[in-house]
Chains A and B, each alone.
Chain A
Amino acid sequence: MHCVEVFNDESRSVLGLEKLCQSRVYYLEGPQLHEVLAELQRDSRALADPVREQIRVDELRSQDFQWLVEVAFRNGVTDNEARVVEEVLESPQLVARSARRYYVWGGPGEREAMLELAGRHWANQLVQRIQVIRPGEELAPPPPLQITPVPPTQSLPLPVQDEGLAALSRSRLLALSVEEMRAIREHFGERAPTEVELEALAQTWSEHCKHKIFRDTIIYQEDGHELRVEGLFPTYIAGATAACQRDWLVSVFTDNAGVIAWSQKYHLVFKVETHNAPSALEPYGGALTGIVGVNRDPAGTGLGCDLLFNTDVFCFGPLDYTGNLPPNVHHPRRLYEGVRQGVEDGGNQSGIPTVNGGLFFDQSFLGRPLVFCGTGALMEVSSGHLKSIRPGDFIVMAGGRVGKDGIHGATFSSQAIGAEAPVGVVQIGDPMTQKRLLEMLGEARKLGLYRAITDNGAGGLCSSVGEMAEMSGGAHLTLETVPLKYPGLAPWEILVSESQERMTLAVPPERWGQLLELAQRREVEVTVVGSFNASGKFSASYYDEKLMDLSLEFLHSGFPRRLLRAEWTGCSENDRQLPPEADWRNTLCELLASPNICSRQALIRQYDHEVQGTSVIKPLVGVARDGPSDAAVLRPDHASDQGMAVSCALNPHYGIMDCEVMAELLVDEALRNLVAVGADPDHAALLDNFCWPDPIGDPHKTAQLVRCCRGLDRAVRAFQAPLISGKDSMKNDYHGPDGKLSILPTLLVSGIANLPDIQKAVSMDFKQAGDLVYLVGAEQSALGCSQLARRRDFEGGRLGRLDYDRASQLYRCLHRLMQAEKIAACHDCSEGGLAVALAEMCIAGRLGLDWDLPESELSLEDRLFGEAPSRLVLAIDPRHQQAVESALGQLPFTRLGRVLPEACFRFRGETIDLDKLIQSWQGELNL
């Protein structure tokens, strides 16, 4: 083994170290290495920049240091850099491994302290190993990969006793309940299932894959009344969409992503996923696989799509948290840095713009951060949204190889995080391999080389083939044909591994040759791993030994339905009043600077929101390009001015009072954001993503879930804004030595909508001094769970309530006014209320405002900072005053004042400088 170190002269003094130099290291092994090294000595350009960097072979760059820290990936962890080294050096059978070296001067005196510092800032020991040496000591080269022989597949007789069943489920990380284990035992009868069969059932029946909680029967009790809900999903989610009379729905809840009709040429496709559990353990790898993983959902919808945009929403504990951290919990700052970097690398490298998102902080997310990643796409109308598979079609796996990384992801995420977590569930994505794969598949689609496609995500081949088998009526996998990253995987591991960057195709045998030729030309691996049939079975063999023979019926519907109990003890709203604020100006500045409101510019700038050239309304708008847009507008088709908008809404604080009202408020906010930029409220679709603390055995959390679904259902029906896709993550708890940390029940509502003409899109910045400023929508008391109430630890007050008829009329009216180009600026009132919305419009336009409010019975705090729904702020050219006021007619609106040329914010004669507001709004998050 040889070692090449690439370094430059740059140094930094960070983390309290006097001096720190970094270098890249490649460990190389191969039969013709001497030639490679000789060429590198002559010309280092393959690995180094000749202007800025030098290389050393088999020696350290220097022996002058206090500590040398080397960080390298553990065996079997995806090493993208090493793969590129192998491609670039083009030497036969070359095996490369990458590492980083940190040369430290003026660091801690003790080795342990240096190791601790390195572990905290430069490595995650779950996936990387760290060595610390002093001058004169030797670094050990990476250990060789231990290839364990494949153990023979066992049959696992299922114990008669419940305790035995529970123990077996636990020891094999199956996450199956005793009831489910019993159902399996009864199904198999005399025969003992093989471990392959048991693993297949565990994956398929996991909460992650089957969403059992949303299908269970729930008895809901409130005030002595009892309600029996036959499945939350059929009753509320699918039920609400079915009640929407929208002729533009194309495919809902059936495929990997939701599909709506958009233009003559294209449908719009959208999916949002979470990757919470992996991100808690390894924030970078978890978030990276989250984003590239959700990319594969639209890519596997219909016959495939072209990816158009990404969205991301994160929930963390406070970034400045100074309390104790339980074992295995990363500090929120570290989680944030890793997650941000993961989504940055995944989105930017894939060439997909990140156009919309959110960031929310609450202490309840300390034990488990939430990482929502969404992807939108264009589906060609001509290629259609339907797939079909015929018996005899080949099962083809395309893309990356299978390794031990990502084994038990689906069952793991279906459990709470504890102090111990299995290493196999952590994985690191590879955007480059996926991009090659998806581009190749795009070409194959146009050539008609496959009949069906789906993503290999949670549950691996077991889930993708298991689901596709339903289309033909059966499937058989030959597990020994699956290409592996390294030998030594047991058949069950091959079946359930969630190794990334893979898609599964159904390929007609007569097309296989052409597909193989194309894939080879594009450097993408494709392999026939079995065939579809009509046997009614999902079966698998390993070198002619049959290891799995499951009926599709049992696999997909055999799991027992549970009866869950929900009990609602009432919502905590009341009429207590928030004590008056001393000076509204201080309150406004405090809110603008608060973590859940302040500018996200530093974060947004690290995501490419321009690539593909579709951007119309960007995440940041206005004179200084720092105004927060309500929604993104894209022009997806370069040949047309038709546009689309994308938005999101999330605020788990509202759920503290009532999850039912929270869901209604969030639907309203997602729609309102779309309307604010000019989208058509009658051509808008929604996605729901639930992240819940485990409701099983907890009647209160179950009741919150029922109520959340009911609120969602009511709002969807009322607005006729259908849900087209969704996902749930139901085990967001951390179990530590000091007890359980549960997240606040959280719902993310994402929206997409048509925008008939992008030239009529509207941004939120004030445009011109003299413009008239209006509040549209009714005032009401809504300080309950508001950002102000949270900051004052005030637990009283009420949540806002929806008047659906009036809100719908208002949104339609605004849309007509925007179509007529009567609105110069429009901004949503949400967190922080009216005063914050107005301040943001001033900041974005670098213009002032003079405004007032007519008399009312509501407190001033409520009127300035309350978060009543269905309200927006407008600015208009005074010449349009009559047109706008008469169009609004009987709808509630208030003329607030005028935009000022000078940089001041004046309310009822009291003034604050715009600069002060801008300064506050920059915040102190240090994103």
Chain B
Amino acid sequence: MKVRALILTGQGINCAREMAQGFSLADADWLVCHLNDLHQLSLEDFQILVLPGGFSFGDHLGSGRALARRLRRAPLGQAIQRFVDQGKLVWGVCNGFQTLVQMGLLPEGCSLAPNASGRFECRWVRLKAQSLSPCVFTKGLDSLELPVRHGEGRLVGTPPAELVPLQYCDQAGPTHNYPENPNGSVQAAAALCDPSGRVFGLMPHPEAFLRSTQHPEWTRHKELTRRFGTEFPAEGAGLAFFRNAVAAAQELLEPSRAAAL
């Protein structure tokens, strides 16, 4: 049986299509569902709940706030809590991350504030995965590049280090310098997870780097690999997050295998 991901859309969510594409490439089934149609289906049929990036409700009262309020509302709020309690995966990207924070599903006392630059930033950043984190989404990842594009991504609060699965880096390591740390996050945090490692939010966009040709320097990579007779890879580094999510969710479908692990 294939893993099934439920991807929310509507009300200003922008990136459901790219998320769906990522799950297709990771060999999972997915359903893109409008927020207003959620009552028509059962979360029991899914192993991953996805809150994609965008500007839900125009971000007017602070990013993610209005969407979080809708998702906390009965009976959906209870259904999502049950989903989390069952050890299923919840994944928020960018505005979805902001929404998870507002829903209270990520470490208490943390929030996402306007970028230190005071501006919306669209740029590629270097990230390093924290190997001690329980996060199932970043398992096995080391260093990679992804784009950020947000105006409110500065993490405030004091999250435990292991619940920060990804950090903004420069050549030397985690950094607070602009623009490598594009928003001024504490602990150079680009992501947060809950102690189970199964609720995960990040500001960068893995779904925007599914193919190598989405990287800003891909033409150089291609030119140089060709000259040295090596192969230019087709995949982008963001696909690993999808594969990890699908692998972790697969264990829920095959309890015997999970027990053996």
A contact set with B: CB distance below 8 Å: 24, 45-53, 80-81, 83-85, 87-88, 344, 348-351, 430-432, 435-436, 439, 521-523, 604-613, 615-618, 620-623, 625, 635, 638, 758-759, 761-763, 765, 767-768, 821, 824, 845, 877
- Bound CA span A751–B110, Å: 46
Assuming the A-B contacts A351-B15, A432-B57, are A46 and B69 also in contact, with contact meaning beta carbons closer than 8 angstroms in the complex?
A: yes
Shortest CB-to-CB span from A305 to chain B, Å, is: 15
- Bound CA span A615–B123, Å: 13
Assuming the A-B contacts A762-B219, A763-B219, A767-B220, are A635 and B61 also in contact, with contact meaning beta carbons closer than 8 angstroms in the complex?
A: no
Assuming the A-B contacts A610-B122, A824-B223, are A51 and B110 also in contact, with contact meaning beta carbons closer than 8 angstroms in the complex?
A: yes
**Beyond known contacts A49-B102, A348-B149, A522-B34: 20 more, CB 8 A cutoff:** A48-B62, A51-B109, A51-B111, A53-B62, A85-B60, A349-B55, A431-B58, A432-B11, A435-B12, A439-B10, A604-B122, A611-B53, A612-B18, A615-B214, A616-B213, A620-B216, A622-B220, A758-B213, A767-B219, A767-B224
Stretch of B76-84, B162-170, B204-212 with 4 or more beta carbons under 8 angstroms from chain A: B204-212
Shortest CB-to-CB span from B149 to chain A, Å, is: 5
The answer on a CB contact under 8 Å between B61 and A81 is yes
The answer on a CB contact under 8 Å between B15 and A611 is yes
- Bound CA span A763–B55, Å: 31
- Bound CA span A48–B102, Å: 10
Nearest 8 CB-CB pairings of A with B: A351-B14, A51-B111, A432-B58, A613-B18, A84-B60, A763-B219, A349-B55, A81-B60
The answer on a CB contact under 8 Å between B214 and A45 is no
State the interface size on chain B (CB cutoff 8 A). 54
The answer on a CB contact under 8 Å between A52 and B58 is no
User: A-facing mask of B106-150, CB < 8 A → 1, else 0?
Assistant: 000111010000011111100000000000000000000001010
Q: CB < 8 Å: which of A87, A435, A606 contacts B122?
A: A606
The answer on a CB contact under 8 Å between B217 and A622 is yes
User: A-facing mask of B9-36, CB < 8 A → 1, else 0?
Assistant: 0111011011001000000000000101
Nearest chain B residue, comparing its CB with the CB of A618: B216
Q: CB < 8 Å: which of B11, B65, B102, B214 contacts A436?
A: B11
Q: Which of B10, B15, B36, B122 has the most CB of A within 10 A?
A: B122
User: A-facing mask of B64-89, CB < 8 A → 1, else 0?
Assistant: 01101100000000000000000000
B contact set with A: CB distance below 8 Å: 10-12, 14-15, 17-18, 21, 34, 36-37, 53-55, 57-62, 65-66, 68-69, 102, 109-111, 113, 119-124, 147, 149, 156-157, 205, 207-208, 210, 213-214, 216-217, 219-220, 222-224, 226-227
Majority SS of interface residues in chain B? mixed
26 interchain pairs (CB within 8 A)? A24-B61, A49-B62, A49-B65, A50-B111, A51-B110, A51-B156, A52-B111, A53-B62, A80-B60, A83-B60, A84-B60, A88-B65, A88-B66, A351-B15, A521-B36, A522-B10, A606-B119, A608-B122, A610-B214, A611-B14, A613-B18, A613-B21, A622-B216, A767-B220, A768-B224, A824-B223
Q: CB < 8 Å: which of A88, A620, A638, A763 contacts B61?
A: A88
The answer on a CB contact under 8 Å between A605 and B121 is yes
- Bound CA span A349–B95, Å: 11
- Bound CA span A761–B211, Å: 15
The answer on a CB contact under 8 Å between B66 and A616 is no
Nearest chain A residue, comparing its CB with the CB of B9: A439
Assuming the A-B contacts A522-B10, A608-B120, are A635 and B57 also in contact, with contact meaning beta carbons closer than 8 angstroms in the complex?
A: no
- A-chain residues with CB within 8 Å of residue B121 when the two chains form the complex: 605-606
Shortest CB-to-CB span from A516 to chain B, Å, is: 15
- A-chain residues with CB within 8 Å of residue B17 when the two chains form the complex: 612-613, 638
Shortest CB-to-CB span from B44 to chain A, Å, is: 23
